Amino acid sequence: MGRNRLERPTVAVCGLGIAGISACKNLTEAGFDVTGFDASDAIGGLWHYSEGERTSCLYNTRALVRRRDSDVPLEPGEIQEYLESYARHFGLGPRLRLETRVSAVNRVGNKWHLQLTKLDGESEEQAFDRLVLCTGLNHSPKQIHFDGIEDFKGQVFNTHTYKRQGDLYKLHSLARVLIVGLGATATDIARGLVGIAKSISISHRNGCLMLPFGKANDFCFPPLRTQRDNVKRPVMEQAQMFHKAFVKMQDEAFSMKPEWGLENPPPMPYKLPIIGDGFYEHLVSGAVSLVPGLKRVYESHVELSDGSSLEVDVIIISVGYTKSYSLLGPWDPSRNMPQAWKDTPGSMGRPLPRLYQGIFSLDFPDSLAYLEHVGATLSATINGDLASMALAQVWAGNTKLPSDAEMARNADKQNQMAISLASKGEIYDPAMVDRPEWNLWVDKAAGLGIYDRIGNGWKSWRLMLTDYRLYKALLDGTFVPQVYRLFDEGKRKPWAGARESFLRANGMR
């Protein structure tokens, strides 16, 4: 297939959440003419609150940006506020078209034709050279049916329709609430209802790890020397190492009660931990109760998997999300999912796309990409920043893609890893890449220059001799994303303030 460089190609970015905003910034920086689209009236994706069903962010949630982007001299805050500041800082506003839904995509000649529908119903068609899908892993809530739920006399919400605690007053102010599912969203909802609902119960089948944020964050993002050494470990060995450390961390931070049913939590990557800061105290005080899985719903009560019953007025279903690639029609990257994936207990009906490095379409690698499918780290901001930096450098011609056959082998290898993991239990989501391999690839593709400077090559020796403070902090200091903008490899643009910001974060300024 041809890979001709176009002069200032036009790029459409569909979805303006964390990944979409990063894509707009990094592709614009690389010289592309970028236009971003979102059906909402503001950027933020999942994190932008609206009364409609397009978002599921809670009205009162104050989720913090734990790891900011690599070249932003802004302090983390609420995610929505942070993304808006990011867009203003890089002057992205004129490139963003809000209240504009991409309702259809067609391939006409060598262009991607987008059918755009505005909030007032007006439609138009616009053609672009390249297309990036950032519509989010959390596309729509999973639809799970519980026997008898149609007979329930109370109110039923899911994580898209439940918006804020005031919604409960539509029923009555002393509601007995049952939240089905134990994850980050469920614990956010429970915290928000404390002091409002008469009782709050969370129904779960498998439990999950509960961690203190600070220690968990430091463990997931260790110094680069440790990250370098971990690159050599197989994926499952890394997962086992994480799980063992997390269990120890949980037991040291919290006194777990047997009646909570959390004694045998699924390990990563089958289920992500929840952050216990604040939530643990509600469990101890009894403000929030953990109960067995939901078996059946009746008019005014539910039956749990242990045979007990619970009187409830409100049921909030929070059992995760599913992803759809149907917008691409015949170019849907999940259209030929292996039967082995469909048959695994952990697939749960979710699509498994076939992509090179979790990013590039195998049909049109030069013009079609996805930036919501890479779960290389536990930070959405880092994932989006790294993936879009690599994408921008590939499409700019500074990094070459391998042969079609090699890209297919990489995609199949990633899929086989997902199938293997899903065959052993409920996988968190299929957005899995071989983390060590992917980190090495993105370092070269984006032009980060990190691994050459923490290894044994001449660039490492040169840095040690010319800037020992930076070299030492790079190897053993506190990890912050500014490391991704420190070095100039002739590809992505470095940030002039990266060294100062990195050293300051390590207490060296």
For 317, left (φ over 0), alpha (ψ -120 to 50), or beta?
Answer: beta
State the Cα–Cα distance between residues 482 and 379, nearest whole angstrom. Answer: 14
Q: Which of 141-150, 196-205, 406-415, 436-445 has the lowest mean pLDDT?
A: 141-150
Task: Read off the pLDDT of each residue in 19-27 and give the average, rounded to a whole number.
Answer: 94
State the Cα–Cα distance between residues 292 and 64, nearest whole angstrom. Answer: 30
The Cα angle at residue 175 between residues 174 and 181, in degrees rounded to 5? 145
Higher pLDDT, 73 or 427: 427
Give me the pLDDT at residue 48, please: 45
Higher pLDDT, 218 or 102: 102
Q: What is the separation, in whole angstroms, between the first and last Cα of the chain?
A: 51
pLDDT at 13 over 90: yes
Task: Read off the pLDDT of each residue in 168-176 and give the average, rounded to a whole number.
Answer: 63
Higher pLDDT, 495 or 345: 495
Cα dihedral 64, 230, 246, 47 in deg (nearest 10): 20
pLDDT at 63 over 50: no
71-104 pLDDT, tens per residue? 655 454 466 677 888 888 999 999 999 999 999 9
Higher pLDDT, 445 or 163: 445
Nearest to 140 by CA among 327, 314, 362: 327
Q: Which residue reads 């236009």 in tokens? A: 35
437-464 pLDDT, tens per residue? 888 999 999 999 999 999 889 999 999 9
Task: Retrieve residue 360's tokens.
Answer: 């590039």
What element of type H or E holds 373? none
For the chain, what percentages of helix, strand and coil (3-state, to nearest 5) are there?
35, 15, 45
| Domains contained in the chain, CATH given | 10-139+323-446 (3.50.50.60), 141-321 (3.50.50.60), 457-508 (no CATH)
The model's confidence at residue 28, banded by pLDDT at 50, 70 and 90, is: very high
Q: Which residue reads 């007053």 in tokens? A: 169
State the Cα–Cα distance between residues 468 and 475, nearest whole angstrom. Answer: 11
Cα dihedral 176, 48, 439, 399 in deg (nearest 10): 160
Query: In 233-373, at which residue ranges do the beta strands (DSSP E only) sit?
Result: 274-275, 289-291, 294-297, 301-304, 309-311, 314-317, 321-322, 355-356, 360-361, 368-370
Higher pLDDT, 401 or 162: 401
